[in-house]
Amino acid sequence: MTADSPRTEQDKDLSVTDDAASTTEQQGTTRKAPEAGARVISGMQPSGESLHLGNYVGALVNWVKTQEQYESFFFIPDLHGITVPHDPQFLRERTRNTAAQFIAGGIDPDRSTLFVQSHVPEHAQLAWVLTCITGMGEAARMTQFKDKSAKQGTEAASVGLLSYPMLMAADILLYQPDGVPVGDDQKQHVELTRNLAQRFNHRFGETFRVPEPFIPEVGARIYDLQEPTVKMSKSASSPNGLININDTDKKIAKKIKAAVTDDGTEIRFDREAKPGVSNLLSIYSAVTGKSIQELVSEYQGKMYGHLKADLAEVVVATVGPVRDRTQELLADPGELDALLSKGAAKARHTAAGTLAEVYDKVGFLPAAPV
């Protein structure tokens, strides 16, 4: 499927699945990954100095698989990074660093469309149109807005934080994708995207493909090494709970060996009773491809220390080459920026067509050629 091929509701039938890992709870519907050759899109914010192991295992590894099967668009959503106070220089550096880690982690700019969100102005332009068909109550019910505004206080929370989901919807709908590989904490935003697409289509005529979210089972959620009931996050309460892609081999091993485990000595998977060990098993499984059951059998009768030592070795072997390749890419920022510019041009080829149709449908007067 080419980037400028026409998209219709009949292109793919993605409405049925038997895979519990790719389930969303909206109206009891279960959803599977799109068929081979379909178009998918996803992005990851440049909000920290480095991607962490949760980003790598939970998203990037799956994106690399995705580009083998689908027409893939991957982007760095830097516009989302200014919904809270930020340092402009840090944002610029982190955006470039995130792009380098994407490529080092296996995203191929020749096979996939890789770009920076702000390089494609159609994102902000479509977001305004979608904001105008979104209800205040609908936007305010988004979990992330409620959580962040509760922490910051309503007066301190920006309007950008409220309208964040409409920009996210624009990020998706611009490219008329069949599917959106997302973490399970983003399902609510994808459901809003689907609702807005259907609402626009109903009011103005068929325009948007209504995309399906699909959520990988393995690595969909990696937990903090020090607080194994909390998702691994850049805002971790302790740096020891977070494995960054740019960590040294020594630091990675030290963090894993210091990871919180559980009472007893039995190595088994039980997210409720043994969250610490279960998290280590999940990471091991995601990094090596071994099943949880296989790992439990392999470590039967062994101590937690054995599991941690082996896990540290396989994580270092996985993360180390990505870190080193990232540094090579960052050493030549001109070449990296050229790759991103090329990706933005490819993205605009598709995005501009969608926006032109949207502008025509809502009644904007087209600009006459000069």
Task: Give catalytic residues, as residue numbers.
Answer: 148, 231, 234
Amino acid making up residue 368: A
Whether residue 26 is annotated as binding a ligand: the answer is no
Whether residue 232 is annotated as binding a ligand: the answer is yes
- Rounded CA separation 275/262 (Å): 7
Task: Please state whether 264 falls in left (phi above 0), alpha (psi between -120 and 50) or beta.
Answer: left
Whether residue 275 is annotated as binding a ligand: the answer is no
Question: How large is the angle between the packed helices 122-131 and 187-204, nearest 10 degrees?
Answer: 80
- Rounded CA separation 199/135 (Å): 12
Whether residue 231 is annotated as binding a ligand: the answer is yes
* Residue 323 near residue 146 (C-beta atoms within 8 A): no
Whether residue 55 is annotated as binding a ligand: the answer is yes
- Rounded CA separation 190/208 (Å): 14
Whether residue 27 is annotated as binding a ligand: the answer is no
Whether residue 249 is annotated as binding a ligand: the answer is no
* Residue 267 near residue 311 (C-beta atoms within 8 A): no
Whether residue 342 is annotated as binding a ligand: the answer is no
* Residue 21 near residue 215 (C-beta atoms within 8 A): yes
Whether residue 184 is annotated as binding a ligand: the answer is yes
Whether residue 97 is annotated as binding a ligand: the answer is no
Whether residue 291 is annotated as binding a ligand: the answer is no
- Annotated binding residues, written as ranges, equal 45-47, 54-55, 171, 183-185, 222, 231-235
Q: Please enumerate, by residue number, every residue annotated as part of a binding site for ATP.
A: 45-47, 54-55, 183-185, 222, 231-235
Q: Which residues are annotated as a binding site for L-tryptophan?
A: 171
